[in-house]
Chain A
Amino acid sequence: MLELEGVNAGYKDLQVLWGVSLRVGEGELVALVGPNGAGKTTTLRIISGLLKPTAGSVRFLGRQLDKEPAHRIVEMGIVQVPEGGRVFTGMSVQENLELGAFTARARKEKEQTMKWVYQLFPRLEERRHQRAGTLSGGERQMLAIGRALMAKPRLLLLDEPSFGLAPILVEQIFEMIAEINRQGVAVLLVEQNVRAALELAQRAYVIENGRIVGEGSGDALLSFESVRSAYLG
């Protein structure tokens, strides 16, 4: 459903992505792994339309995305949980979730979706009137994911959802992601936590210095020698 082909991109004079091609199929869970500064976040920014490619194409459900403004891309069903969650700290948990359902498409089903999100994350329901700024790191990450789900994503982009969380929470978050995926939402998962990501994903890409250097099923990459030595120690 999502296809990147030969995407070049960068910031000002600095080119970061070099001919990146990748694909996410309907209902698939795909991981994108690589070292710091490899261009993972940049790739997600391209998909979300926050950054425009200088070459190559981005297609979603057969439609060209590179000319669409970012907010329209959300409307089409690509929703991103940015690095660090970026919840609206000055607003309540509930308000954050409401904002997640901002698009016309999502707003119609706001009440049901919110019920679903609260089912997935009961912690959030307990804290619905609390200011998001007062949540713990793990709760914020849950809120960020919940907020993205409110937009009724067809494809969910997750940028290091486990970053800075205790191992037990990481496990929980990953279970959530698997659960969300089982419910039919395609997922593109960017992770530093390579082993967990590869175990979870059906397919994965390895990115280094802005280039895709490896692709395969999660299991295959797990046993791939260079990946093992580079990321799994």
Chain B
Amino acid sequence: MPTTMVAQSLASGILVGALYGLAAVGLSLVFGVTKILNVSHGELLMLGGYTSFWLFTLFGVDPFAGIPLSMFALVIIGLIVYQLLFSRLIKLPTEDKIRTSLLVGFGLGLMLQNIALRLWTADNRGITPSYAGAVLTVLGVRLPYVRVASLVIAFVFLLALQLFLQKTYTGKAIRATAQDWEAATLMGINVHRVYLLSFVLGTALAGAAGTLVAVGYSVEPVMGLHWTLKALIVLVMGGIGSIAGTLIGGLILGVTESAAAVWISGNYRHVVGLAIFILVLLIRPQGLFGAKEG
């Protein structure tokens, strides 16, 4: 196998892997803090992608400049979804909460997917600004500018989130609530506000990820389940509550998939990730990098 081909597949894997990481981190944050496992996360990501698609085609808004707008749209959607649906589960015991939230998310995903089908048809949509086709070639490896930019932006988001959680008072309150909500309440923390904030932060991150996916790749109504699964795979690999673990998990998944595409067949790209997922789930349920829960 020629080395450029190996390098190319490695590079493509890393580029898409960063997006997997970004997609997963929102899901992970929400689950870690609220114990709501929102399997409609992929559909929310899709809505983020379509928001930028709309902004671009209707108003000519540059997709990268439009990231704050699609995040804002997802904040609104997140607020509605949380207040209307998930907030009703928040007081359930953890096991029941996870189970019921899975079901609610499942139904919500179905709903959003079909709404998207009505609004935007089943077609694959991409965002194509003037620089869309530009490619940076390094030693024969082709790196599309938009994907490189997406990688950088994903890194920035993850770093910013890390700093926010580690350094700010609000971030610490979020971590405290994730560890022990009752003890957090006894610190005077309004945990219901923290839940809402975390959920909305998670959906905003899905909005950002969706935009990057729409620019570098494409969006379609049925992509939700696909991205939810990617996020879950990364979550299981990286463990809950570790942003670095999530990023590494995303990169590993991306690279493994491209390797599988090269060595086995492009058709099995997505199967490999799922297979790893099942294995990790069964062998090391606390995640490859995560500490044991509790």
Contact = CB atoms under 8 A, between A and B. Distances in A.
Given A82-B183, A86-B182, A86-B183, A91 B176 contact: yes
Interface residues on A, range: 20 to 34
A198 to B, nearest CB: 26
A74 B186 CA distance: 7
B188 A95 contact: no
Contacts of B179: 88-91
A65 to B, nearest CB: 14
A87 B186 CA distance: 11
A103 B188 contact: yes
Contact of B182 (A50, A79, A100, A147): A50
Given A74-B186, A80-B186, A147-B187, A102 B175 contact: no
B44 interface: no
A102 B179 CA distance: 16
Given A91-B172, A99-B172, A102-B173, A71 B188 contact: yes
B180 A88 contact: yes
Interface residues of B, number: 18
Contacts of B186: 48, 50, 70, 74, 79-80, 82, 86, 148
A102 B171 CA distance: 12
Contacts of A86: 180, 182-183, 186
B180 A151 contact: no
Interface string A15-52: 00000000000000000000000000000000010100
Which of B180, B185, B187 has the most CB atoms of chain A within a 10 A radius of its CB? B187
Interface in B176-232: 176, 179-180, 182-191
A151 B190 contact: no
B256 to A, nearest CB: 29
Interface string A77-112: 001101000111111000100111011001100000
A102 B169 contact: yes
Nearest to B183: A86
Given A69-B190, A71-B188, A82 B176 contact: no
Interface in A115-161: 147-148, 151
Contacts of A199: none
B187 A102 contact: yes
A100 B241 CA distance: 22
Interface string A43-76: 0000010100000000000000000011100110
B175 A75 contact: no
A100 B180 CA distance: 14
A99 B169 CA distance: 8
Given A74-B187, A151-B187, A151-B188, A82 B172 contact: no
Contact of A50 (B169, B176, B185, B190): B185
A70 B223 CA distance: 42
Contacts of A48: 186
A71 B189 contact: yes
A82 B175 contact: no
Contacts of A75: 188
14 contacts: A74-B185, A74-B187, A75-B188, A86-B180, A86-B186, A90-B175, A90-B179, A98-B169, A99-B173, A102-B169, A102-B188, A102-B189, A106-B188, A148-B186
Interface of A: 48, 50, 69-71, 74-75, 79-80, 82, 86-91, 95, 98-100, 102-103, 106-107, 147-148, 151
